[in-house]
Structures are given as structure tokens and as C-alpha cells.
Chains A and B, each alone.
Chain A
């Protein structure tokens, strides 16, 4: 599904050039559950941004579902991303002024679905995540765990093939963290390809594959059955 070849990402700030990712080779098959770990500044979030087509590599090749996407414009990337890739964030990124329902529906606004179909889809995912009774609430009226469940609901509303999660349990207590991990596992079991950045070794161990980064390079790439 994903094939990165010699991908490098450099940032320039004034006269200083920083290499965030250095000639990375990585293949991820459909249905995999990959945990990306590593110390702060090793390039995890940069890699996630590239995988999610939120950024483009400085050099190298990125093929998504067989299609080369490394040198596309931001408009083309948005079109490729729409409906195929979703995100779950550490800080939830919910819009305070919108209700839970509207936050979830936001993911469908720019797709092909009609308004009625969008509302139906939102109702389905909220039902699935046990949030139907909170549909008219605002994020500030929910607990952290509930907020992250709304974020997951938004992420899966468009039925993406690839779900990228950036420290999804980072702002949650252990009980809520476990619940979120269970949900992600379920989604992966249903066939969604899942790539998760995490600091937690415990949560990384739940993945089927672990990629450890150091200084922008892949240090370790192991499958659960190899551990």
C-alpha cells in the first residue's frame, strides 16, 4: 500500500539546514498495524506527515497504492487524501465552537456524499463509538477520553483505507488510553491500515509491526511474529 524509497526530508531555517528524515526505505502493506517509536526529534511526526500527504519529501519516492505522490501539488495531495487517509491526534483537534455531530461531519464535508448521507454516516459512527447521546454537546463538555473517541469517530467517518494516529493516548489517563487502543485495534481488525506514532512501549507492543527511528533513519523494523 505504501512504498517509501530513499525518502529524505530537510528543513531550512535561515542558514541552518536540518535533516528530519534521511534516505528512508519503508513498505507498509494494506491491513498492517505499524507502531512508529523513537526519541523526541527522531523524525516520527515528519514521517507521519509524509505518509498522510500533509507534506512532501525533499527527495526520494513515495508510492501510495501504486501511485507516485512525492511530487504532487498540494491540491492534488488533498484530492488523493480525501476519503482515503484519516488522522487521530494527540491533542484531539476538535473545534470548540462545533457540536460533536458537526465535528464528525467535518470529515465528510468535502467528499461526495450528500448532506443526508453525511448525517446518516455520522449517526452510524457516533452509535458505534457510543457517543450518540453526546451528539449535540460541545467538546468542552466532554471528558478527555470522550473527546478522543469523537476524534476517532471523525477519523473513521470517511471509511479511510489508511488511519494515521499521532500519540493518540498522549493526553489520556491509562483507562481512557486503553479504551482508545482497543478501538484502534478493532479498526485494524476490520481491515484499516493503521500507522501509529507512540512513545509508549506498551501501546507499541499492540501493533503487528514496530518501526524504531533514530536521527531520521530507520533503526529497527520488526514484525510482532519476529519478536
Chain B
């Protein structure tokens, strides 16, 4: 075996050029697959601190009011926790959790934290631990609070958890005693998602705590997703039963009778399900989109790996053909077929193992950066250590590639009789060998056409999304956001006065949402005097909001009222509320302020109509908009100036000098818009990267085919030259070898790209024009494929053109 290994190693080394070409292509493709696999493992992994996640369920609900179906929320009304307990369903440790914000007053400043309100049973259920104190008893006491290490340090600096126990926290009008210090949450915890502004600064209280802002009515609601309910399945129960228990509890609740009749008539008002914590990483709109992204990149990487494997197979075929004499000699010395196959397999295995090792190194090095880029928290380890299943998967991949790579070339080489080769006469693999090579190149070129086309479609759509006219302007605008309880926003008059005075600021406005970044917001049913009923999305803004965002006023003036609420609506809202034109809406009263799809009693006077505005993502239709006018300070401040750098510095300085001591963040509004389409951008970038790698791999394939063609057809080319063929005739002869693969690649790749690109674009309400977004990328991809194929063949075409007819006289 040792001798065989040495023999194989010498063989692989002696063909270093082909070994290098095969290894590098495979390594890149394997690295891409490994990175995707590592990301998938990291995303699929539930919080590792939780024991038995397959038996812990999360209750899930989605509303189904007529015409307003909602997605699964991976959450439910908290009342289900109480209802299921009362109904004695076979679930243990049923626990409710709800996340909120908490502003802690400390040393004249406010420290923002995420407040987690939870039942005490959540502690054993989710295997929560404390560094100091008793978390479970903390959640049963009204005056107690648990804090994370991060929050502890933000409040009191570098003290030990022991020193934190017993300290007082002043927040939301009450004083709470720290009775437990808990570790910072794992990024995968199902309890809540860390807000970038508060990080791991979390606090925990029980539902009976005065810090819990939820009313009894909110806790009892059956149609408001206001938290999460977890429970452990008893041994005899299964997750599939949870939906039935939830449905029965929902319908048995007295509030069910109060739901509008048309929500229930012959239909379900809501759907229910239970999902285990092992399934949770795959659920929810954000996760689903992320898995779609990863699935797409995984498919592209798998295609890349297949293309690289084809190159390896091609190179192996060519190598074994060149080694006919050596093979014949080995056979004459007594080597049988299996022994030769073993030798060749070992040679290929060495290449594959080199590629796999390189791929793992690349993946280990690059995955953390890619993971952070796709939004995984930096503290979540994705590649250190490399998960065993990824390494095993790669090992299986190597074995599959070995079989795929060696089977065809070996069977062909073993069919050659040894005698002619020993006499110096070597055989070609015949016309079928050429056809196989062309077929392999066809698949590679199809992959290139497909991936380049899709990358082009995605790029065009992305460009379109970022330049789409949404009825407001995002350039040269900065947003300043504060982390504070919306009910307790402190006075900002000194800050706003400074904004008014500063010459670098053209205008500014308060709002309770970021128009470029918040694609969802509260919706309220509004009724006009003509009894037109329309759900409007409602945003509270200061009067300067419209000029700050460059919105076009069609009628009226956005002014504040004295004693009555003033509202500005957009053109679409005006039309849907029954106003014949923008002007006719001015001065009219509309009624809103109700709950979800329910009439309210707040009367609002329309004082302005702006050109239609779209605050929703391009994936959703535009909702009609209402802007409630208020001069009260809000979470979000937007400023408009001429120069972004100056504006940023000015805003930062003014806030530090005149703003309240609150946690704040400054972003450009352009960046907020880009963040809405961040996943699309990531998909575009990743697909483009894989497409470019596929170009490299396919170029190797084309290179192999032309090299083989020139070698195989050398005699013929010499004879053609001898009989008067000029350069054009020689190029035509070589080009004919590539015409079928290119044509078939176009026939396979372009329709597939059209279909997939069309499917991608169909996911958007606002999509780029088909000519620019689909036809042009496809045309460019086709031309690029032709170009790179030509480029890959250039060297050998020049060699072929240099063939002299006198070679015919050489033996």
C-alpha cells in the first residue's frame, strides 16, 4: 500500500500543471459549498443551552380576516398560555414571554434595555441559568428584576455579579431590586432578538411586576400577537396536536363571539400550529427569506462543484490518454485492471483531498466574515471548530467526486489494448470521447449562461429598487433615532431650536417611523363623511416632515390644529376615501383611531394632500397613507442638508450639546433604504460571485476542450494547411467544435434563466422593466459566455494557426 501511495503521489506530482488546475477549480467550488453548509448549520442550530429542543413547542398563529391574510408570526396572543393551562392539555411548563423596552434612570441619564417579561416556568423549560441569585423566584416577585451581565456593566461598570445583587434599579416609575444576574443571551435564544442599539443589555421581570406595561385587556386579547408562549410536550403528545388545542381554546373564548361575523362565516378567522424549537430557525418571514437566499446560493455552488468535477474528469481523461504507453508497460509487467484503477483512484484522491483541505481552510477563514455579512451575530461561532457534519459531508462529497471523476476515464483507458501502445502507436478515444467532452462543456456553459443571467437580473432589479420613485427623497438626509419609551420621550426643545438655527440644516422633522426603513406600520380603518371606509397606514409626524423628505404637496398646508387633530393624507388615500380630487379633501373630517380593522372615534381634519407615497417594500403593494400631525417629540428625527459629512458632524455635535442623555444612533436615509433590500443585495452579491467563479471553471473546461481538439486534430490541421487552408478556415474548423456546446448551452441556459429570473421578479410588486431587467441581462450573459469561451481558446487557436504544413513530412 505504501508503494502504491508513493507511486500515486509521484504520479500526481509529475502532472503538476493538470493537478493544479483540477485542484484549484475543485477547491474554490468545494469552499463555496462548505461556506454555504457552515452557514446552514449555524442558521439551523437552535439555542444550544436549551435541553431537548425537539420536545419544546412554540405556539404560532396567523390571522385570516377577509382580504387581510397575514403571515405566520412565530408568536401568538399571550392569552393562549392561560387558556391552554385551564384546558389541561397535555403540555407542561406552559410559559408566556413578551419583549418590551425599559429605560433605566441612572446618574441623570437613561440606560435603555430590552425588558423580557416572562412566567417563572420559562426558567426550567428553556434551561435558563443564573450567574448569581435565583431567576425563577425573581420572576415571581413584583419588586425584583434580573439583569444580564451586559446590562450590569452598562449600569455600574466593571463589578462582579455578586456585587450587583441587591442593587436598585429605577425605571418606569418604580424601583426594582436586582435579585439575579444572568449570562448574556445566546444569539439563537427564542426569547427575543437583540436590538442593535441595546445589544445584550436585557432585563427580566415577571408578568406581575409593575414594570410590565401590558394591561389585563391586552393579556386577555385573542387576536393580537403580543408575545410568545412556550411549553414542553408530554411524552404521549405530539406537536401536531397543538393546532387543534389552540383552535378549540380560541373558539371557546368569549372574545371569539365578538369577532366580526364575516371573519367566521364558513371560514377560519385564524390558523394555528405548534412548532418545536428545533424547527424554529426555519420559520418566520425573515428566516424563510434567509433560507431562500441560502438555498439559491447552495444550488449555484452545487452547480459550480459539478462544473469543477467535469473539469477534473476531462483532465483525467486527457491524462490517461497521454499515459497509454505507461499503462501498457504496467500491464505488460503484470498489473491487472483493478490494480491500475486503484493507482489512478489514489492519484485522483490525492488531488481531491488537497482540494478538500484547501476548501476547509478557506471556509474556516472566510465563513465568520460571510456570516457577519449575512447578519449572523459575530459572537455566534460558525466555523471554530468546524462542525463534524460539514467535514463528514465534504468527505462524502470527495468520495462521490472520486467515483464520478475516475469511472469514465478509467474504463476508457482499460479498453485500449496494450500492444500498439508499446509499439509507440497510441489511440485516440474516438469520436464519442469528443462528444462526451462537448457534452461536459455544454453543461458548464449552460451553468455560466444561467448564473450570469440570474446575476444580471438580480443586479438590474436591485438597481431599480434603490432608484425607485417612492414619492419622497432619501439623498442628503440623516436620521437620528433614540432608544426610549415612546410614552416618556423627554423634551427636545433645546435640540430642535439648535436645529432651526444651524445653517447646515435646511429642514428637520420628527416622526414615529422611518419612511425609508420601516416598511410596516400601524394600520387604522378610516371612515370619511361619504362613508367610504379605508384602512390607512398611520404615521405621526411633525409639520416639517413633508419638506424634509421632499414630498410634493398637492393641496392644503400641513399645519397643526388647536384642539383638533390634523392629518395629511396621500393622493391614493384621498381617492379611496371618496374625494374626487386632492383639493376637495381639504377641510374634511375623517374618523379613525380604532383597532385593527375596527372603526375608531378619533376625528381628524384633513389639512393637506401629498402626492402618493410608498412606505412599503417593493415586495408589497403601496398602502394609502395618513400622516398625523403633531409637534410632540418622537423617536425619529430626520434632517436635510446639502452635504452629508457636514450634516453628520453637525447633527452629532448638536445632539451632544443640546439633546437629552439618551442612547442614539445616526444613519443616512439612503442606508436605511438599502437595508430594506439587504437580503436581495446579499443574494445578488453571492450569486454574482458564484457566477464569476463558474466563468473561471468553464474557461478551464473550454481550455481543456480546445487543447484536446488541437492535439487530436493536429494531423488533420496540418493536412488542411498542406492543401491550402488559410487562417480563417483553420479558425472555422476549431470554432465548429464549440458551436454545438454554445448553442445547446443557450437553448438550456437562457429559457431556464428566463423562468427563474421571471419567478424572482414576480416576487416584487415593483419590478424592473422586462426589457432592461430580463432580456438585457440574458443577452449580455450570452455574449459574455461567447466572449469567455473565445478567450479561453485563444492560446490554442494561435497554436493551431502556427501549425506549418511541413509537419506532414515529420514522422
Contact = CB atoms under 8 A, between A and B. Distances in A.
Given A49-B809, A55-B806, A82-B724, A93 B431 contact: no
Interface in B704-742: 712-713, 715-716, 718-726, 729
A89 B809 contact: yes
A90 B809 CA distance: 8
A225 interface: no
A62 interface: no
Contact of B809 (A45, A81, A95): A45
Nearest to A96: B428
Contact of B804 (A54, A75, A93, A98): A54
A150 to B, nearest CB: 12
A109 B721 CA distance: 11
Contacts of B806: 49, 54-55
B804 A109 contact: no
Nearest to A102: B716
B811 interface: yes
Size bracket of the A interface: 20 to 34
A33 interface: no
A22 interface: no
B659 interface: no
Interface in A37-70: 45, 48-49, 54-55
Q: Is the interface of A mostly helix, strand, loop or mixed?
A: loop
A111 B724 contact: yes
B386 interface: no
Contacts of B715: 93-95
A166 B809 contact: yes
A37 B804 CA distance: 25
B808 A110 contact: no
Interface residues of B, number: 24
A79 B808 contact: no
Residue of A45, A79, A90, A95 with most chain B CB atoms under a 10 A cut-off? A95
B716 A54 contact: no
Contacts of B713: 95, 97
Contact of B722 (A48, A54, A83): A54
A98 B716 contact: yes
Residue of B430, B718, B722 with most chain A CB atoms under a 10 A cut-off? B722
A78 B726 contact: yes
Contact of B729 (A48, A54, A110): A110
B805 interface: yes
Contact of A95 (B430, B719, B725, B729): B719
B112 to A, nearest CB: 77
Contact of B720 (A74, A106, A158): A106
A195 interface: no
Contacts of A89: 808-809
A104 B1 CA distance: 53
Contact of A54 (B434, B712, B725, B805): B805
Nearest to A109: B723
A181 B726 CA distance: 32
A95 B721 CA distance: 13
A93 B808 contact: yes
Nearest to A107: B723
Nearest to B712: A97
Interface string B27-63: 0000000000000000000000000000000000000
A75 B726 CA distance: 7
A82 B723 CA distance: 6
Interface string B443-458: 0000000000000000
A90 B811 contact: yes
Interface in B773-811: 804-806, 808-809, 811
Contacts of A54: 722, 804-806, 808-809
Contact of B716 (A74, A78, A87, A95): A95
Contacts of A93: 715, 718-719, 808
Nearest to A82: B724
A178 B809 CA distance: 22
A91 B811 contact: yes
A138 to B, nearest CB: 10
B809 A97 contact: no
Contact of B724 (A48, A79, A94): A79
Contacts of A90: 811
Contacts of A111: 724
A169 B723 CA distance: 22
A110 B723 contact: yes
Contacts of A82: 723-724
Contacts of B428: 96-97
A222 B721 CA distance: 34
B721 A78 contact: yes
A89 B438 CA distance: 32
A81 B720 CA distance: 12
Contacts of A45: 809
B716 A110 contact: no
Given A96-B428, A97-B716, A109 B809 contact: no
Contacts of A49: 806, 809
A81 B724 contact: yes
A48 B723 contact: no
Contacts of A109: 720, 723, 725, 729
Contacts of A78: 721, 724-726, 805
Interface of B: 428, 430-431, 434, 712-713, 715-716, 718-726, 729, 804-806, 808-809, 811
26 contacts: A45-B809, A54-B804, A54-B805, A54-B808, A55-B804, A55-B806, A74-B804, A75-B726, A78-B726, A78-B805, A81-B722, A83-B724, A87-B809, A89-B808, A94-B715, A95-B713, A95-B715, A95-B719, A97-B431, A106-B720, A107-B723, A108-B723, A109-B729, A110-B725, A111-B724, A158-B723
The 4 closest A-B pairs by CB, nearest first: A82-B724, A110-B724, A54-B806, A95-B716
